A and B are shown apart, each in its own frame.
Chain A
Amino acid sequence: MAGTSDLDVAYIARLARINLTEDEAKIFQKQLDDVLKYVEKLRQVDVTGIDAAAHALPVFNVFRDDAARDWFTAEQALSNAPRQANSLFVVPKVVE
């Protein structure tokens, strides 16, 4: 679908695993084209000499001991499953 940006909503929605109606795709295309046009302003920023500001503290990496600890039982992990059987999540068949 042609918009004013390189974004093809129908294609990206498939990548994101969201089915869209044609009407929805058309509306989103227009709206997101507008957002992308707005975001273009970032191309004009000269960032030379500006330090990256990713965090208020000089935190770069965090390590901990690789130690086992108690966590959910299978029953707890499955407690919200829409479908389950034999302590497993049930999904449609994926191999023929």
Chain B
Amino acid sequence: MTGNELAALSIADLQSLLRRREVSPREVIDALRERIEAVDPDIGAYLSLDIEAATKEAEHANVDLPLGGIPIAIKDIINVMGQPCTCASKILHGYRAPYDATVIQKLRAAGAIPFGKTNLDEFAMGSSTENSALKSTRNPWDLSRVPGGSSGGSAAAVAADEAFGALGSDTGGSIRQPAALCGVVGLKPTYGRVSRFGLVAFASSLDQVGPVTKTVRDAALIMNAISGHDLQDSTAVNEPVPDYNASVGNDLRGVRLGVPKEYMIEGIDPQVRAAIDAAVKQLSSLGAEIVEVSLPSTDYAVAVYYIIATAEASANLARFDGVRYGYRAENPKDVLDLYGRTREEGFGPEVKRRIILGTYVLSSGYYDAY
């Protein structure tokens, strides 16, 4: 099997090869590195790679664990111990994570190897990965197009066989939309299913970590590893986690699926509409009962998002002040000058806009209005 063929495998297929000892974790890392060297100069999915650390971990990987020896790319807004975590922002220049996020601890416990940090819109604020302050990522299917965002690096890496699977984060579509634009599987888990401890917070009542993969089965494998209760994140609910793998490949008899009529609106791209219709038909042929449902508040979702997401972002991003980590403005004349210039020079325009809007909607008169 060539390196390219190896890199093109799904997690499930790679797992079989690893367990039959037909390929070693070390060879998997080598294949991925070669693939990245060949295609990433054009695609730009990765912000940083630590091949040495990954190779070292591959040397003593236990391939019999649920994700044993499988490299997983990580959106660069999730802390991986010893690695940079830039959030694609200048303000985290030089920062190295002193701890592992809970999802990283869980991936490691399942035998996976966190591998490389992927590009995003700065602090996950955007839908194209063009708002990264560090580099732009292109869609592997057509380099003249965007990969979507904010988890555009994760989606592009998986689509281009530069990763077997990846973690992204989703606040208002940031996993699902780039997965759709890159033709891969993306899932925003139900709020509370996955711990956000170690995910740099954007809008805390909406943020979730989730998988980006080549197949649905692979998404189930990652969900099995990362889901569950966590004392470090009180919003991670204490509920049993089912074996997601057990439901993959079954028929859908007894499952009722709602198709919201408000989503099928004028102006939807005919190709997108056709793809949705085909999926509905497929699900129906597998035994699911399809019903039209109504979500009458849909039209207000974006307006609500503008208020909730920016308000929470303005509070969460107050921590970036040039004192404890990351970028600090030179020669501040006093502490207000330190804050004001660090944040002026460190944040990009979209982040500034959202912090300002969020600060405004939390100010007295406006807060009362909503």
Contacts and interface: CB of A to CB of B under 8 A. Distances in A.
Interface of A: 6-7, 9, 12-20, 24, 28, 31-32, 35-36, 38-39, 41-43, 45, 50, 54-57, 59, 62, 64, 72, 76-77, 79-83, 89, 91-94
B357 A41 contact: no
Contacts of A83: 328
Given A19-B341, A35-B357, A82-B328, A50 B297 contact: yes
B287 interface: no
Contacts of A89: 323-324
B327 A39 contact: no
B113 to A, nearest CB: 23
Nearest to A71: B99
A35 B339 CA distance: 26
B21 interface: no
Interface of B: 94-96, 98-99, 190-192, 205, 231, 234-235, 237, 239, 297, 299-300, 302-304, 306-307, 314, 318, 321-328, 332-341, 343-344, 347, 349, 352-353, 355-357, 359-360, 363, 365-366, 369-370
Contact of B344 (A19, A54, A55, A56): A19
Which of B190, B339, B356, B370 counts the most A-chain CB atoms under 10 A from its CB? B356
A39 B340 CA distance: 28
Given A17-B340, A36-B357, 6 more contacts: A39-B306, A50-B297, A56-B190, A57-B192, A82-B327, A91-B335
Nearest to B357: A32
B344 A18 contact: yes
22 contacts: A6-B366, A7-B357, A7-B360, A9-B356, A12-B356, A12-B363, A18-B340, A20-B352, A24-B352, A28-B352, A28-B353, A35-B357, A38-B303, A41-B299, A42-B303, A42-B307, A56-B192, A57-B237, A80-B94, A89-B324, A92-B333, A93-B334
B191 A79 contact: no
Contacts of A55: 191-192
A84 to B, nearest CB: 10
B356 A59 contact: no
* Top 6 A-B residue pairs of the complex, sorted by shortest distance between their CB atoms: A80-B325, A82-B328, A19-B344, A19-B340, A17-B339, A62-B234
A6 B367 CA distance: 13
A82 B326 contact: yes
A84 B91 CA distance: 18
Contact of B307 (A14, A39, A94): A39
